[in-house]
Structure 1
Amino acid sequence: MANKLVSGTLILTVSLFVVKAIGSINWIILSRILGGEGIGIYQMAFPIYLLALEVSSAGIPIAISIITAEKAAKEDYAGAQRIFHVSLTMLCITALILSILVFFGSRWLIEYHIIRESRAYYSLIALAPAIFFTTIIAGYRGYLQGWQKMTPTAVSQIVEQLVRVGVMLGFAAVLLPYGLEYAAGGASLGAGAGGAAALLVLLFYYYKLKHRLPKNGPVFPQEKISHILKRLVILALPISLASIMLPVVSNLDLLIVPRRLEIAGYATAQATELFGYLNGMSVPLINLATILTASMAMNLVPAISHYHTLGDSESVYDKTASSMRVALLATIPFSVMLYVLAKPVVTFIYNAPAATDATQAIALAIVFLGLHQVSTGILQGLKMPKIPVMNMGIACVIKVFCNWFLVAIPTLGIIGASYATVADIGVAAALNLFFIYKHTGYAMQFKDVLKNIVCAAAMGIVMQGIFNYTEHIGLFLSLLLTTMLGTAVYIGLMAACGGVTRRDAAKIPGIGRFF
């Protein structure tokens, strides 16, 4: 199980990097094909699509993962299958209904000006099948993750993205001569095609797993369908509320930050520009830096559920401690890297050196976001999904207050909004850690945290010197060399002080045998 946790996390991390890289290249090419107006038409349909997905699946996939891991721990193989069949039936029904509603309701959405751009009609109807496929594949991924099978999710994500991008660019280019609305609609077909391809991949892995499960395991009483549905809803509802919190917080930022920037003395255009630097440039960098911890959180849910079901509190504690240790190892150096290299990074990626201040101020959020992701996964695995939601609600209130007071200070401005984001995620993470201590007895060791901070600080000083010395060779090469040498310095220092051991290296899939 320990090896599954490490390998599964790395598999998901690599797949997410690949998916994001493909997506970035696709966005550049699609923007060139459709232009700004075409991209605007394409984007008009997506809020409806995302809302339909949220309603159709909500937190069901994670709930399936938790309950499946519980059944697997008890060796109740027939029970795991029954859970999945009931869940999949429910997902199929809701997905089909919503797909039909979107397809036939698209004209109504435009006629009543809910979507003000009439040319988005073809994008809407093209996205309707994607709602069905995306909901179903989420159910299959949740089930396979419950068995600690992360490769199916990783492979299906990459296949989905490749097919999606191919269909999207192909149809956009072919239909462009007929008009932007048709080209945008053609691009939207990519989501459904990618979902169908991913479903085929997951079906292969599902039947492969099904044939390998023992046929003559222990016999357990069959659960009633009503009981299964009740458990799914109880677990899924808080998880879906947590996902809804993210757009709620973003909308609150949209309402508060630009207005408070104007109070601080900025013109409306300046306030809009600064808000774009924070939400459109700095925050995506934070999310990119926490791909590893996001993958680990996904992997932790079934792993913790497995041990919690068996009553193995020692293994729950061990997995909690090791995951927190890895989270610190992965996020503290990234925070320092982004702080030190904020200006060259935002210049290279966005050509926007003016975003440096907001990016430096928000860099600490990488550590807190990583800890929040991992701690949320642990609490969900312990079947306590309500706790992270409540903690996010408390943190959201604190963020609103920080935004209101800090952003209006002329000497802070958008930096105050960055601090508010750090406070928001930091409070949510701290509250999660408190409840983890309460239910598992785990608390962070000050000595381990200090080692990470000291080694990362030393790495930051070295990186600043390397970048200043190599800046003349070109921005990209200088960043690449600085990052590689800085990472080597950090790992070397951590190994020297015992923060990273040979045993840690031995757990890395593929190269671990060399240690």
Structure 2
Amino acid sequence: MAINGESRNASIWRGATVLAIAAVVMKILSAFYRIPYQNIVGDIGFYIYQQVYPIYAMVIALATYGYPVVISKLVAEQAEEKNEAGIRYVLQVSFWFLAVMGLLCFGVLYVGGGWIARWMGDEKLTPLIRTISFSFLLLPFLSVLRGYFQGKNEMMPTALSQVAEQSVRVATIIICSYLLVKTGHTMYEAGTGAIFGSLTGGFAALLLLSAYWLRSARSLYFYEASRLSAQSVIRYLFVQGLTICIANMALTLTQLADAMSLLSLLMEKGIEEQAAKAFKGVYDRGQPLVQLGTVVATSFSLTLVPLIAGAKKRGDETFILEKIDVTLRVALVVGIGAAFGLAALIRPVNIMLFKNDAGSWPLAILSLSIFFTTMSLTASALLQGIGYEQFAVIGVLIAFISKWLGNLWFVPMFGIAGASWATWLSYIVMFLFLYQVLRKKIGVWFIRKKDVYAVMKAALIMVVSLKLYMWGTQLWGGSRLGATGQALLGVLLGGSVYIIMILRGKLFSPKEIALFPFGEKLCIFLGKIGDEK
């Protein structure tokens, strides 16, 4: 039995790793495609797309992180009891529940698309909102199939479907927008073409999942009596599904707050409509930068969440403390390094990625929020791992309300820089709340003063090095090619200085460093530094 238990744990770990890798690939694709898209459609075209993107991100949260996880838990429970009839019953009830939910969401967005667009301050967004409404019709199919495979601990179908969905979607966005702009269509028509990618991506994922399903000759339509109650399944889906979805919507809901309020606030400030749209598009350049800045640390926490959850069930408090501690230290190091490094290099990075340096100051402010964003998302993932999802949900709602209020306060005074300050406010408040909850539930202060001092010292030395480098290479910034060279060499310089200082600060033990990518080589390097001393 011990061997079987170890084999099962190893299988669960492999499955979690596969899903974590897929999540990283999705996040990278989701951030990177916006750069060529902005280059094709410009700032106003980018504003148009970013206004409706949060709605699609909700579909992704529901069909990727929310309902598949909940359904998988129900399926896994029935699989443990070898109750195939129970598994089929769970899938049937889940499908019809999500079909009703998908139809309701579709109806609200399609019929109410004009009202939502007017609330956003731009009635021309109506066709985009109506196009994206069709994505909700795919929700029951994607969620049930992914939930089934995950419940059976077959993670590859889910992982491949996620990557396929994002890859086909990105390809559709780039190709459609390029062709529509080249053939003289409006930016709103190009935006509608880009939004169409949500449908092509969803169908690609559905085809792949269906192929896996049919290959195993399974059927959703064979009904047998079950001891399960439909009411209990629906209640579990409704409560747990929404809880997990909202807990993973921090970035989405803060972007939604911007979509609903920023344009109107800029126009109330006296900015002409077209100029306000361009300003919003410039501000939106920061979204992929923030997303990329948080990928490394949050991906590390994703791989640890199932392990921490398993340790919680075993009652292994020592393991939980160790993993939470190292995860928060990774988030601290990566978050501060990414935030200060990007802020120091924001002008050449802005020119390299988006053609010009428009909005570099507001983007620098937004870049600094990467630290609190990273810490907030990491703390949220850890709370979910130890079974306190409800506090992660409260944290996200606090961030959304803080962002909305922050926009109302700061945008009239500072324009899009005010929206950046509002993002700061939202994630500071979210992190302080989640960290206090985590500390009280675990009973330990995880972030030590000596660690903060060592990281801030490393960041300060990195920033000084980058400022001297920027001063010495300022003649490069006159062209996009020169700015590209300046940015890439700056990233290499800043990253090298920062990593060396972090290693010298001994924030991680050799055993912990060995867990990181290229960890063994870093351990050898760390040993050489110790010998020199």
TM-score (norm. length: structure 1): 0.74
Q: Pick from 287, 292, 303: which aligns with 2:296?
A: 292
Contact 1:141 1:153 in 2 (8 A): yes
Partner of 1:214: none
Equivalent position amino acid for 1:12 in 2:
A
Q: Pick from 505, 509, 516: which aligns with 1:497?
A: 505
Q: Are residues 1:90 and 2:98 paired? A: no
Contact 1:395 1:427 in 2 (8 A): yes
Equivalent position amino acid for 1:234 in 2:
V
Contact 2:348 2:357 in 1 (8 A): yes
How far is 1:312 from its partner? 2.9
How far is 1:454 from its partner? 1.2
How far is 1:112 from its partner? 13
How far is 1:16 from its partner? 2.7
Partner of 1:431: 433
Q: Are residues 1:452 and 2:448 paired? A: no
Q: Pick from 199, 202, 206: which aligns with 1:199?
A: 206
Contact 1:124 1:185 in 2 (8 A): no
Give the unaligned 5+ runs of structure 2. Answer: 1-8, 219-225, 477-481, 524-533
Q: Are residues 1:317 and 2:318 paired? A: no
Q: Superposition pairs for residues 246-265 of structure 1, below 5 Å?
A: 246=254, 249-250=257-258, 253-254=261-262, 257-258=265-266, 262=269
Equivalent position amino acid for 2:423 in 1:
T
Do the aligned partners of residues 47 and 281 (structure 1) sit closer, same or farther apart at CA in structure 2, a change above 3 Å counting? closer
Distance 2:276 2:44 in 1: 19
Q: Are residues 1:506 and 2:508 paired? A: no
When the two chains are superposed, the root-mean-square deviation of aligned CA atoms in Å is 5.1
Distance 2:115 2:277 in 1: 33
Q: How many residues align?
A: 491
Partner of 1:217: none
Q: Superposition pairs for residues 51-200 of structure 1, below 5 Å?
A: 59-64=66-71, 76=80, 78=82, 86=90, 89-91=93-95, 94-95=98-99, 98=102, 102=106, 120=127, 130-133=135-138, 135-141=140-146, 153-166=158-171, 190-200=197-207
Equivalent position amino acid for 2:425 in 1:
A
Distance 1:365 1:331 in 2: 9
Q: Pick from 227, 232, 239: which aligns with 2:232?
A: 227
How far is 1:434 from its partner? 0.8
How far is 1:207 from its partner? 9.6
How far is 1:507 from its partner? 1.9
Partner of 1:466: 469
Do the aligned partners of residues 223 and 387 (structure 1) sit closer, same or farther apart at CA in structure 2, a change above 3 Å counting? same
The C-alpha deviation readout for 1:344-402, integer Å capped at 9, x for no partner, is 22233234434122122233311111111111112223332221332344445545555
Relative to structure 2, which stretch is displaced further, 500-509 or 430-439? Answer: 500-509
Contact 1:290 1:369 in 2 (8 A): yes
Partner of 1:21: 32
The C-alpha deviation readout for 1:451-474, integer Å capped at 9, x for no partner, is 222112211211222233344451
Equivalent position amino acid for 1:502 in 2:
P
**Secondary structure of 1:290 counterpart:** helix
Contact 1:332 1:452 in 2 (8 A): yes
The C-alpha deviation readout for 1:22-59, integer Å capped at 9, x for no partner, is 56446756x59xx989997x999978867777788894
Q: Pick from 341, 351, 361: which aligns with 1:357?
A: 361
Do the aligned partners of residues 179 and 459 (structure 1) sit closer, same or farther apart at CA in structure 2, a change above 3 Å counting? closer
Do the aligned partners of residues 420 and 193 (structure 1) sit closer, same or farther apart at CA in structure 2, a change above 3 Å counting? closer
Distance 1:468 1:198 in 2: 49
How far is 1:290 from its partner? 1.0
Equivalent position amino acid for 1:476 in 2:
T
Do the aligned partners of residues 116 and 498 (structure 1) sit closer, same or farther apart at CA in structure 2, a change above 3 Å counting? closer
Contact 2:411 2:419 in 1 (8 A): yes
How far is 1:136 from its partner? 3.3
Do the aligned partners of residues 424 and 228 (structure 1) sit closer, same or farther apart at CA in structure 2, a change above 3 Å counting? same
Give the unaligned 5+ runs of structure 1. Answer: 212-220
Equivalent position amino acid for 1:366 in 2:
I
**Secondary structure of 1:198 counterpart:** helix
**Secondary structure of 1:353 counterpart:** coil
Contact 2:263 2:276 in 1 (8 A): no
Distance 2:96 2:279 in 1: 40
Partner of 2:422: 420
Q: Superposition pairs for residues 271-350 of structure 1, below 5 Å?
A: 272=276, 276=280, 279-350=283-354
